[in-house]
Structure 1
Amino acid sequence: MTAAVRKAERADLAAIVAMLADDVLGQSREAPGDPAYEAAFAAMERDPNQFPAVLEDDGEVVGYLQLSFIPGLSLKGMLRGQIESVRVASSRRGQRLGHVLLEWAIAECRRRGCGMVQLAMNKSRDDTLRFYKSLGFVTSHEGLKLSL
């Protein structure tokens, strides 16, 4: 495997959105082709604390995550890394590509001086929870969301 992580480019957007839509939850909440994705990507490009990352293998985008760096005052001003929207192309699952992507994100957080890496996931994703725990993540907090 020659997979490598790099910063996402606009040319990757269609492949990223396709991965976001390619699962049970994504089918009901994503809309490939919607111009809102372009605007969101442009906002991420302008924000130095956002790193949309793709995993590329043999010229094909096969994985994605958004890595955000969150400065804060709690925990003595600790910088946190926040991982969102982790996806691996459905045709490539089971090949340890998710491990490559998450291990890169954790290392990047260390490199940038983060004291913690955090993420949230839908509670219906039992396999995903096992995957994150295998990487050392612990279920230390309960998260809440409010749709607006």
Structure 2
Amino acid sequence: MSSPTNVTFRYATRDDLPAIVALLADDEKGKTREELTDPLPNAYYAAFDAMASQSTATLPNQYLLACQGTDIVGCLQLTLIAGLSRRGQLRAQIEGVRISSQVRSQKIGEKLILESVSISKLLGAALVQFTTDKTRKDAHRFYQRLGFVASHEGMKMALNAD
């Protein structure tokens, strides 16, 4: 793989789904949540298509990719959300941040997060928010080093039938 200084960014296409799912599964939690098969389950394609149908130029809901040459080495989902709270401020939501285990500790994650923050600012977002699992202590330190503050307690409720 190329050196981390050669990282470029682009939005994902449908053809990138196998690489994205591989990144999502390349993680202690993701390997139990994702289904990395060939071919991929149709659910991933349906979700990508749903995201694309919700996405606009000013309110994107897309996967941002970090690439070294033609290799996809990182990803995150960036969604801009219009809302009424905070006097109608636009906010950016980051989800599914993953960096390939082959290139971790090369500042690619930092560059990817900073690129998503830059995009969010350019599109008028007043804040960037995300959740991170409470057990990911290294990730917490990483995000705090980048200037994020653990200002809220996040909660989730699984709605699965099983």
Find runs of 4+ consecutive structure 1 residues off by over 4 angstroms. Answer: none
* Alignment TM-score, normalising by the size of structure 2: 0.89
> Any unmatched runs of 5+ in structure 2?
none
One of 24, 35, 39 as aligned partner of 1:31: 35
2:65 — aligned with what? 54
Secondary structure class of the residue paired with 2:29: helix
- 1:61 positional shift: 0.4
Cross-structure match for 1:123: 134
Query: For 1:25 and 1:140, how far apart are their aligned partners in 2?
Result: 24
- In the alignment of these two chains, the number of paired residues is 148
Q: 1:44 aligns with which of 48, 51, 57?
A: 51
What CA RMSD, in Å, does the superposition of the two structures yield over aligned residues?
A: 0.8
Q: Report the counterpart of residue 22 of structure 1 in structure 2.
A: 26
- TM-score when normalising by structure 1: 0.97
In structure 2, distance between residues paired with 1:147 and 1:99:
30
Aligned to 2:83: 72
Paired residue secondary structure (2:10):
strand
Is 1:10 equivalent to 2:14 in the alignment? yes
How far did residue 47 of structure 1 move? 1.5
Write the distance in 2 (CA, Å) between the matches of 1:61 and 1:144: 31
Structure 1: 5+ residue stretches without partners:
none
Q: Distance in 1 between matches of 2:27 and 2:63?
A: 20
Are 2:145 and 1:141 aligned?
no
> Partners of 1:95 and 1:44 in 2: how far apart?
30
> Is the contact between residue 44 and residue 52 of structure 1 (CA under 8 Å) also seen in structure 2?
no
Deviation at 1:12, TM superposition (A): 0.9
Amino acid at match of 2:105: G
